Amino acid sequence: APVRLPPGPAQPAGERLLLVSFHDLTPLRRAEQMRADFIANASHELRTPLASLSGFIDTLQGPARADTAARERFLAIMRAQASRMARLIDDLLSLSRIELKVHVRPETPVDIVLLLRQVAEGLQPLAGERGVTIGFEPPAAPVTVAGDRDELVRAFENLIENALKYGASGGRIDLAVLRETGPRGDEIAVSVKDYGPGIAPEHLPRLTERFYRADVAESRAQGGTGLGLALVKHIVQRHRGRLGIDSTPGAGATFTIRLPIVTAAPSGTKIDGIPV
């Protein structure tokens, strides 16, 4: 005769499953929706320059085949579109890499003053092209934060490039480094200030969302990807910092990154390869 197992306790599994799914339903749906939106946006952003490239290829194979002047002009546009796609893919990859390690704290001592000097120096050619003067009077003493040098360079470059792109009409931008003591201890506040058209208040809360732009046409014209400030936000978060955005429309915009200062460097510590 078949062995009969004694009846076990009532199974709560179904009930528990139901509870879990009820609890998670809304945030889960929201996360799924955000992911779907992100993929749709990214695909759209990539498809736009691709469609333009395909169009130019057709024209070059057809009507413009024998027109040397048109060919040169079209090839220059195609080169710009290809660069835009490359930048977009670069930014997408950086964003996903930084997101993956957002909870891992970067720990290399970095002198923010030296780093800013180098970033500002590197952007001099772009500033010259735009007719913008970069004002920066760095403090004499180094200011050390625990960080990932490449990511910090990227964050400050993004802010300064934006000031040069969107605020160029102001003719100058100012970088400032200020020590502050807040509720969370000593911080360094680095601000990038421009005197361009600024940003209308309704855009401010959404500027760091991926692909969000205050002015889509202007961003496109500047070769923007819409990912710069999302990258900055993630980098700053990973460094336990804060990003502040202030603007007076018509008078300019100020972007400020605050980072915790590392005070006592253990002996044998090197900053940018130099013992301190």
The yes or no reply on residue 225 touching ligand ADP (CB under 6 A) is yes
Tokens 């999302």 -> residue:
230
Kindly identify the residues of this chain, within the stretch 135-154, that bind ligand ADP according to CB under 6 A: none
Q: Which of 49, 106, 170, 226 binds ligand ADP (CB under 6 A)?
A: 226
Write out the binding residues for ligand ADP, residues 232-271 only, by CB under 6 A. Answer: 253
The least CB distance from residue 176 to ligand ADP, in Å, is 15
String marking each residue 57-96 x if it binds ligand ADP according to CB under 6 A: ----------------------------------------
Pick from 194, 190, 210, 209: nearest CA to 247: 194
What DSSP character marks residue 210?
Answer: T
CA 99 to chain centre: 11
Measured in whole angstroms, the distance separating CA 266 from the mean position of its chain's CA atoms is 32
Q: How far is CA 135 from CA 84, 146, 248, in A?
A: 29, 26, 20
* CA–CA distance, 192 with 131 (Å, rounded to integer): 17
Q: How many chain residues interact with ligand ADP (CB under 6 A)?
A: 21
Q: CB pairs under 8 A, 24+ apart, for 273-276?
A: 276/109, 276/142, 276/144
Q: Which stretch binds ligand ADP (CB under 6 A): 2-10, 23-31, 94-102, 161-169?
A: 161-169
Q: Give dist(CA 237, CA 240) in Å, integer.
A: 5
Residue 147 β-bridge partners: 108
**Which CB sits closer to ligand ADP, 56 or 211?**
211
Cα 259 to Cα 21: distance, rounded to the nearest angstrom: 39
Task: Give the interface segment with ligand ADP, choosing from 15-23, 32-40, 122-130, 194-202 (CB under 6 A).
Answer: 194-202
The residue count of the chain comes to: 276
Determine, following the binding rule CB under 6 A, whether residue 164 of this chain makes contact with ligand ADP: no
DSSP state of 183: T
Nearer to ligand ADP, 109 or 258 (CB): 258
The residue type of 151 is E
- Which of 81, 94, 144, 162 binds ligand ADP (CB under 6 A)? It is 162
Site for ligand ADP (CB under 6 A): which residue of 92, 115, 143, 163?
A: 163
Cβ proximity to ligand ADP: between 110 and 227 the closer is 227
CA distance 185 to 181: 6
Ranges within 202-221 binding ligand ADP (CB under 6 A): 207, 213-215, 219
Q: Does 170 bind ligand ADP (CB under 6 A)?
A: no
Q: Which is nearer to ligand ADP, 144 or 225 (CB)?
A: 225
Decide: is 196 part of the binding site for ligand ADP (CB under 6 A). yes
**Residue 233 structure tokens:** 């936000």
**How many whole angstroms separate alpha carbon 213 and alpha carbon 40?**
16
Amino acid in position 19: L
Cβ 167 to ligand ADP shortest distance, Å: 5
Binders of ligand ADP among 9-68, rule CB under 6 A? none
Residues that bind ligand ADP (CB under 6 A): 158, 162-163, 166-167, 194, 196, 199, 207, 213-215, 219, 224-230, 253
